[in-house]
Amino acid sequence: MQLADVPLILMLVGLAAYTVLGGADFGAGFWQLWGGSSERDKEIREHAHHAMGPVWETNHVWLIFVLVICWTAYPTAFGSIASTLSVPLFIAGIGIILRGTTYALRSGTATAREQRLIEVAFAASSILTPFALGTVIGGIASGRVPVGNARGDLVRSWVNPTSTFIGVLAVATAAYLAAVYLAADAVRRGRRDLADAYCARALGTGVVAGALALGGLFVVRDDARRIWDGLSGGAGLAAVIVSAAAGTATLALVYRSHFEPARVTAALAVAAIIAGWALAQRPDFLPGLTVEEAAAGHSALVAVIVGVAIGAILLVPSLALLFGLFLRGRFDPYKAEDEPVPGSPRRTIVVRPRLTMLAAGCLAIGAVLTFFFETSWAHIVGISALLAFVGLGFVTLATLVATRETDSQ
Amino acid sequence: MLAAAAALSAGAFGSVDQDYLHQARQMQALSFAAHIPLVCFGIAFPAIVLFVEWLGQRTGDPLYSVLAKRWSKIMLALFAVGVVTGTILSFELGLLWPNFTATFGSVFGLGFTVEGISFFLEAIFIAIYVYGWGRLAPRAHLLAGVPIVITGFAGSLMVISVNGWMNHPTGFRLEHGRVVDVHPFAALFENKYFWHELVHMYLAAFMVAGFAMASFYAFGWLRGRRERYDRVALVIPLTIAALASPVQIVVGDWAARDVAKTQPVKLAAFEGLGKTEKGAPVHVLGWYDGKEVKYGIRIPKLLSLLAYHHVNAEVKGLDTVPANDRPPVNVVRYAFQTMVGIGTALALLSVFFVGFWLKTRRLPRSSWFYRAILAAGPLSLVALISGWITTEVGRQPWVVYNVMRTSEAVTGASGIPVGYAALALVYLGLSIAVAWILLRLSRVPLQLPGVGTDAAR
């Protein structure tokens, strides 16, 4: 492995995380499309909505992560992909806007009809987006993106058998992952009935996704020969076998209602197939452009890798905290949620006059240094003093004004 | 030297013919205009909400906790919309400007990589904070909000470091359209240009978020909603905006002096200065006819004084570069004048409010004051957008100043007008949806405990 491969591995890890976590959120949207207006159907949809609440924004960021690493570490590849595949990427973008908007809107719906309308729009965008992103992967995998500014065919680069297959597979996988995860969440919430409903959905979509994946191999054989060759031997084949085994294990675990371990095996099945794709396609990024050739210069690669490594030190514990709270059910809805905060004994805050003086001093020093001096140090001190004035001034003045207003009637 | 290198080549992909460059630029501008107000809330809202929660914990008055919790839900809704509009911007860097990203991605990409990570942390902690009400210990909950404030700042620092680099590109050399000798860290952070942009934008965020929120409650005040809760909800955002506004004038002046040094042509476009002049004047209003400003109110020597602190200093004019290297002067100039005009008015309003309160220890009673606050919200937004038009259109015709033209960066793909129309429709729907949800959230009945409050409302 060379330095030029490291950002690619980071991208693939991000892509796997996005497919699993973001995919499960798309799938949760998928499950809001179905069912009638009976109380049970409503509960099933409500469960899907609430289960992703605390995590969907975080899960979405994986996509941004993949994009930014791609354009930093492999800029020419990114420019070629984004320009040739601009249509499906744009469609995915519109889907993402609709999805985010309808998600935010749902909390404001007042009537059942409004809510259903929003749900259907949310579900539709949750199907459109992974499909469009899947066609993008298909276009890259089948070698339809040449190097250059929109040099590929704007239509056939994503309207082709491999793209369609991966698009459909992405939607099916999302629905499947979501059903597994929602069943596990329902067990945690003590809702056996909801768990059963999602268990049935998981088994159904699991079989569909598995059959699609197998059938799709033949599509790939005819349409993306290079990938087929890579997947039918060596490390690529090993990845396919791991994926198939993990997928089968997931079905067995779900069938026996062991949902928590099924989360892991389902994720493994997805991660393995993404690894398989990368192994099958190497060393090419795009036709006529190897990963090595696509990579940016040494210093840029080092900067990205170091940046991500330092970021990971903060990110990993934070993700662990969020998912720890989430998976332990700390964010699950319960009735006490909207109870008013109990009143405790009132205390008064005394704002020391010294603080106010300090704020005023910061303003004076900051304004003079920034306005009358030209050297950098004067500007650094001056601007810091001005910002300190805003911060200090806000805390003191807003405390004074607000407590005055709450104490007077 | 850089300009000469650029003239020889047009980046990694070479030039393309694009009939719809103008539409591509407008599409980018539209996406930006939709996103940037949400950024302001992303930066300022967490700090304001945390302050209110802290007040609640310190005083034991449940009013603050109710207010903080309510605001945090709006904060999350706006963050969710900001996440998707921000995603669109990152898509468009490739969709609309593939040659820009393909050529310079390795130089500026580090900024977005770090921004991505800080955005990640922001999403994580905003979820913990908003979903953690009543499920975390009060101290832990307050603590969970701190990373949101820090990452809001870090994220804007990163994005603006990239914009600063586009305005003042350093940290690389061009050879045959390829960047070599790339030093991403030096390019982004040893760049003098970006500090004034960052501070200017950071303060603008507090002005926009503060005035917009105050504007909403001023509307309520005019309609008769003047209980304790309403008054507190009005004064807290108003205070932060009122402190940021006068400081913004000092910072804006510093920014303009930096522009005079590093981008004299841009400064000339701000002021419609056709010819290089000693003792250059400032014109208020009027119209730039290609040579000079007509029908404006002329204030002699003021530009030299402001830009160089000397009444007879020489200010470079638009004639220092060929005509096709000049930005569209009237757009830039009017955007600049709008920003400065509104900014000054807001600062005056702010000084009045702070002075009045310090003197009388109460809020003004005149309806005109609340009408002014009501207007300040939308006006601060207009000033924000005008400010970005000033710096971004002022950079034209360059995407990377003096290195790559916007026309060289654009995609060769067809269908830009279709995409533009589709996006415009979607964003129209989005803004209606956001207005609707904010209205709905504001109508959820208050749950204030205790006697002597407005719990009955």
User: Is A86's CB within 8 Å of B413's CB?
Assistant: yes
Is the pLDDT score of B387 beyond 50?
yes
For residue B100, give the nearest of B403, B309, B327 by alpha carbon.
B403
Residues B297 and B285: beta-carbon distance below 8 Å: yes
pLDDT value for B354: 93
pLDDT value for B296: 86
Helix, strand, coil percentages (3-state) for chain A, rounded to 5, are 80, 0, 20
> Average pLDDT, stretch A11-24?
92
Distance CA B138, CA A163 (A): 50
Return the CA Rg of chain B: 24
For the record, the structure tokens of B78 come out as 């706006």
SS (H, E, C) B123-136: HHHHHHHHHCCCCC
Residue to test with chain B: of A84, A299, A316, most B Cβ within 10 A: A299
Residues A371 and B254: beta-carbon distance below 8 Å: yes
Half-sphere exposure of residue B249: CA atoms within 13 angstroms, side-chain side: 19
Confidence band of B454 (pLDDT split at 50, 70, 90):
very low
For the record, the structure tokens of A310 come out as 């330092």
> Average pLDDT, stretch A350-363?
87
Contacts of A338 in chain B (CB under 8 A): 447
Is the pLDDT score of B400 beyond 50?
yes
Mean pLDDT of chain B: 88
Burial class, A35, CB count within 10 angstroms (exposed 0-12 / middle 13-18 / buried 19+): middle
Distance CA B415, CA B197 (A): 34
pLDDT tens digits, B47-82: 999 999 999 888 888 889 889 998 998 898 889 889
Q: Reduce the DSSP state of residue B314 to 3 states and report it.
A: strand
Cα torsion through B202, B203, B208, B214, rounded to 10? 130
Give A231→chain B minimum CA distance, Å.
30
Give A166→chain B minimum CA distance, Å.
21
Residues B313 and B278: beta-carbon distance below 8 Å: yes
pLDDT tens digits, A303-316: 899 999 999 999 99
pLDDT value for B310: 86
> Average pLDDT, stretch B350-375?
93
Is the pLDDT score of B452 beyond 80?
no
Is the pLDDT score of B141 beyond 60?
yes
Distance CA A43, CA A49 (A): 10
Residues B164 and B194: beta-carbon distance below 8 Å: yes
pLDDT value for B449: 56
CA B391 to chain centre: 11
pLDDT tens digits, B223-239: 988 888 889 999 999 99
Contacts of A314 in chain B (CB under 8 A): 117, 121
Half-sphere exposure of residue A336: CA atoms within 13 angstroms, side-chain side: 8
For the record, the structure tokens of B239 come out as 């205070």
pLDDT value for B448: 64
Q: In this predicted model, which residue has the larger pLDDT, B374 or B188? A: B374
Q: Is the dihedral of CA A155, A157, A163, A167 positive or negative?
A: negative
For the record, the structure tokens of A129 come out as 């987006």
Is the pLDDT score of A197 beyond 80?
yes
pLDDT tens digits, A131-185: 999 999 999 999 899 988 888 898 899 999 999 999 999 999 999 999 999 999 8
Residues A26 and A178: beta-carbon distance below 8 Å: yes
> Average pLDDT, stretch A311-338?
80
Mean pLDDT of chain A: 88
Residue to test with chain A: of B79, B250, B363, most A Cβ within 10 A: B250
| Nearest CB neighbour to A349, from listed B58, B136, B185 | B58
Please report, rounded to a whole number, the percentage of residues in chain B having pLDDT higher than 70.
Answer: 96
pLDDT value for A343: 54
Residue A300's φ and ψ, nearest 5 degrees, are -65, -40
Residues B267 and B260: beta-carbon distance below 8 Å: yes
User: Is A61's CB within 8 Å of B131's CB?
Assistant: no
pLDDT value for B262: 87
Is the pLDDT score of B5 beyond 80?
no
**Which letter, b or e, does each residue of B262-271 get, where b requires 16 or more Cβ atoms within 10 Å of its Cβ?**
bbbbbbbbbb
- Looking at the DSSP bridge assignments, the partners of residue B180 are B173
B17 CB contacts (<8 Å, ≥6 apart)?
Answer: B412
User: Is B134's CB within 8 Å of A97's CB?
Assistant: no
User: Is A54's CB within 8 Å of B127's CB?
Assistant: yes
Please report, rounded to a whole number, the percentage of residues in chain B having pLDDT higher than 90.
Answer: 48
Q: Reduce the DSSP state of residue A110 to 3 states and report it.
A: coil
pLDDT value for A162: 92
User: Is A108's CB within 8 Å of B441's CB?
Assistant: yes
Distance CA B412, CA B432 (A): 33
Closest residue, chain A, to B258 (C-alpha): A374
pLDDT tens digits, A220-271: 898 988 888 888 888 889 999 999 999 999 999 999 988 889 999 999 999 9
Angle between helices A75-84 and B98-131 (to 10 degrees): 90
Give B245→chain A minimum CA distance, Å.
10
| Nearest CB neighbour to A344, from listed B60, B132, B452 | B60
| Nearest CB neighbour to A75, from listed B105, B116, B184 | B105
For the record, the structure tokens of B217 come out as 């409650």
User: Is A296's CB within 8 Å of B105's CB?
Assistant: yes
User: Is B450's CB within 8 Å of A61's CB?
Assistant: no
pLDDT value for B451: 37
For the record, the structure tokens of A21 come out as 């976590």
Contacts of B251 in chain A (CB under 8 A): 370, 383, 386
Cis peptide before A7, with omega less than 30 degrees from 0?
no
Residues A308 and A11: beta-carbon distance below 8 Å: no
User: Is B414's CB within 8 Å of A397's CB?
Assistant: no
Number of H helices, E strands in chain B: 14, 10
Is the pLDDT score of A337 beyond 80?
no
B371 CB contacts (<8 Å, ≥6 apart)?
Answer: B218, B222
